[in-house]
Amino acid sequence: MANSGPQILTTLRQMILSGEFKANERLAEIPTADRLGVSRTPIRLAFRALEQEGLLNKLPGRGYEVRSVSIAEIEGAVEVRGALEGLAARRAAEKGLTDEQKRRFEELLQQGDELFQSNEPLSEKDIELYHTMNKAFHQLIIDVADNRAISIALSRDEHIPFASVNALAYDKTNMREETKRFLFAHTQHHHIYMTLASRQSARAEMIMREHAHATLGHVHKYHGANENEDIQLISKDPILKQ
């Protein structure tokens, strides 16, 4: 593995967010450095950064532990994301979309539409594709808004496990209901795009908030994803654009 500080920080963050490191698990520099095949110094610096992000707790003496995150904390972070993404949608609608931005939105919507063409439940591969499309759709709104303060605030909120669009959990034993859930979310994508294209800024903000808040009814899936074999978790760490 590459041993640059940012790469190690990203790797460790992803291992926490994905559940590879469990809540309350103790982490020490030497075993972690050996596991990743790097020296102790970048591990030490990464641990300090992850403590500041709220993903690790410093233990008395030496070492850290993975911080346990409550359902209430995830719900609070989702509400914050809704406010921030709603503001980004308002800003994007006020600016208006270029022809290239419209083309990209329509391309992403088409990718989603193709997943729901049949009456069959989505496969796990389909959900992976949906997740990729969904992340790109949300990121495009942030890019169009072009507001550094919103981008930075969102990046901080994303460090709460499962609070961002980079994490998705679903019940493998009930794929038909999960398909309905994702179809509803994708229908909202269409409504969001229409408000952006027609520059309805207040409505764009309202629908975007509703879109994020829809996650609140499924927080229990995220919270229990690492302990329940029926729950499949997809978690990919974002790359922060400074």
Q: Where are the domains of the chain?
A: 5-66, 71-235
Task: Kindly report the CATH class assigned to 5-66.
Answer: mainly alpha
77 contacts 181 by C-beta, under 8 angstroms = no
Residue 238, pLDDT score: 41
pTM of whole model > 0.85?
Answer: no
Question: What SS3 class is residue 233?
Answer: strand
Measure the CA–CA gap between 213 and 61, rounded to whole angstroms. Answer: 41
Q: Which two tokens stand for residue 186?
A: 């994708």
Helices (H) and strands (E) in the chain, counts: 10, 5
Residue 69, pLDDT score: 78
Q: End-to-end distance of the chain based on CA atoms, in angstroms?
A: 24
In 3D, which of 176, 174, 168 has the Cα closest to residue 138?
Answer: 168
Looking at residue 52, its amino acid is Q
Residue 229, pLDDT score: 62
For the chain (length 242 residues), average pLDDT per consecutive 10?
74 81 91 94 93 88 86 87 97 98 98 95 94 96 97 84 77 91 97 98 97 82 59 54 32
Residue 231, pLDDT score: 60
Residue 55, pLDDT score: 85
Residue 235, pLDDT score: 62
Q: Which two tokens stand for residue 72?
A: 């209430």
Greatest alpha-carbon pair distance for the chain in Å reads 58
Task: Kindly report the CATH class assigned to 71-235.
Answer: mainly alpha
Q: Which helix (H) or strand (E) holds 170?
A: strand 167-171
